[in-house]
Amino acid sequence: MAILKEAKTMEEKVAEHYVNKVYRTVIERNPGESEFHQAAREIFDSLVPLFAKYPHYMEQGILERVVEPERMIIFRVPWVDDKGKVQVNRGFRVQYNSTIGPYKGGIRFHPSVNASIMKFLGFEQIFKNALTGLPIGGGKGGSDFDPKDKSEGEIMRFIQSFMTELYRHIGPDIDVPAGDIGVGAREIGYMFGQYKRIRGAFEAGVFTGKSPAYWGSLGRTEATGYGAVYFAQEMLKGRGMKLRGQTVVVSGSGNVSIYAMEKAQALGAKVVACSDSNGYIYDEKGINLATIKRIKEVERKRIKEYVNVHPHAKYTEGCSGIWSIPCDIALPCATQNEIDEASAKLLVKNGVKAVVEGANMPCTLEAIDVFLDNDILYGPGKAANAGGVAVSALEMAQNSMRLPWTFEEVDRKLQEIMKKIYRQSMNAAEEFGYPGNLVIGANIAGFKRVADAMIVQGVI
């Protein structure tokens, strides 16, 4: 076992035997889907103490049911590129669990997208959404379309084709997508436009992460990054530490990363490095965020451009080297499995105090073990990056009311939600005998909310 070192009691041994049995069926039913297996392993291991204390979850077969998506849609996305050539991509939507609300989860456009990545993200999303305490089920979607180096026209045509199939599966009370890697406000705008055109109705609540120009929530763009830093603040507070004065390394330079850097800097931390999928920059004076925003958000160029503006900074090709930079706090905000065991050991050797996941599953199971074994504060993505989907749920609430909230109001609610997620996760960890272990705490707290609702809804 990875997360749970060994079963402590006879009850835990029974529960461990049970989760291993269910896990084996997951492997058999989903061959070759390594990311999905990894996400399932982490969650299953964490649930052993819960099943040991409350065996009725095992008797009700909740785990067997919850690990199987309610449905998964896979579809062809044909489109014509600027040279007049037909291109074909594959579209996905996994509608994982609708027990506590409409399916909710982002859409990712990246060449690596496949069924395994969709399922890992969708499975995680169920429990993350439950942790927010808001009425949202779990889902995820995407395509292996690569938006890099595509023209505006190509991106729009691809999205219009993508939505021409997806529109029939979504709706404000059915399934509410948002952004993820490769999908920001521009892409959401094209998706919403095509959805509205086909449906012939203005249903603002069908997407979140919209531009505030047509009822997107203020503060949604910032929510995941800000939320992760609020979560980090709570974790540090728990050990009598502050963010002010800490040295921070943030991977990525996309939506989550930029706003994690912004909030960390606003709270007095010094951010010295960030990256993209080609390499990373190190600026010992502290990253100039205005330059990053211009390069990545406005010009949509590569991070290495930074050194042209700030020649004292250093650019290095390759992503994983960023974890060799000594720091107090590491915020992985790019993609899955970006911190492996070797990078984790390096971070620990260089004195890292906290690792807080802005991205989904950025640490391998072995890396998580390294942090837990060395008593490093470790904030799992399911809890730490839940601020994005929480503000998405607030966007849905505003769309239903047809009334917008101010940025300050949304940000205040976000802070409360992040504190509550932290408290809930810590309390669950304590209650089930693993004090301070936020992986076990977050997984149990999220799972329990969904499982209890599943039980009262009958065998669904």
- Catalytic residue from among 128, 140, 196, 263: 140
Crossing angle for the helix pair 255-266 and 220-238, nearest 10 degrees?
A: 50
* By the rule CB under 6 A, 180 interacts with ligand NDP: yes
* By the rule CB under 6 A, 182 interacts with ligand NDP: yes
Name the nearest CA neighbour of 344 among 334, 354, 333: 354
Q: How far is the CB of 314 from ligand NDP (least distance, A)?
A: 18
Per-position DSSP letters for 27-81, written without gaps between them: HHHSTT-HHHHHHHHHHHHHHHHHHHH-THHHHTTHHHHHTS-SEEEEEEEEEE-
Q: How far is the CB of 311 from ligand NDP (least distance, A)?
A: 22
The smaller minimum CB distance to ligand NDP, of residues 60 and 211, is found at 211
* By the rule CB under 6 A, 187 interacts with ligand NDP: no
- The angle at the Cα of 282, spanning 280 to 284, to the nearest 5 degrees, equals 170
Q: How far is the CB of 42 from ligand NDP (least distance, A)?
A: 15
* By the rule CB under 6 A, 118 interacts with ligand NDP: no
The smaller minimum CB distance to ligand NDP, of residues 91 and 254, is found at 254
Find out whether 381 and 357 touch, Cβ atoms under 8 Å. Answer: yes
* By the rule CB under 6 A, 446 interacts with ligand NDP: no
Find out whether 220 and 209 touch, Cβ atoms under 8 Å. Answer: yes
Find out whether 316 and 282 touch, Cβ atoms under 8 Å. Answer: yes
Q: Using CB atoms, what's the residue nearest to ligand NDP?
A: 254
With CB under 6 A as the rule, give the number of residues binding ligand NDP.
Answer: 24
**Region 375-394 residues binding ligand NDP, contact defined as CB under 6 A:** 385, 388
Find out whether 162 and 141 touch, Cβ atoms under 8 Å. Answer: no
One-letter amino acid of 196: K
Longest CA pairwise span in the chain (Å): 66
Binding-site string for ligand NDP from residue 329 to residue 368, where x marks contact by CB under 6 A and - marks none? ----xxx----------------------xxx--------
Residue identified by tokens 């390759």 is 318
Q: How far is the CB of 91 from ligand NDP (least distance, A)?
A: 17
The residues facing 330 across adjacent strands are: 249, 355
The smaller minimum CB distance to ligand NDP, of residues 253 and 424, is found at 253
From 256, 313, 339, 356, residue interacting with ligand NDP (rule: CB under 6 A):
256
Q: How far is the CB of 283 from ligand NDP (least distance, A)?
A: 16
**Region 222-251 residues binding ligand NDP, contact defined as CB under 6 A:** 224
Find out whether 131 and 383 touch, Cβ atoms under 8 Å. Answer: yes
- Interface residue list for ligand NDP (CB under 6 A): 106, 179-182, 224, 252-257, 276-278, 319, 333-335, 358-360, 385, 388
Just list the catalytic residues.
Answer: 140
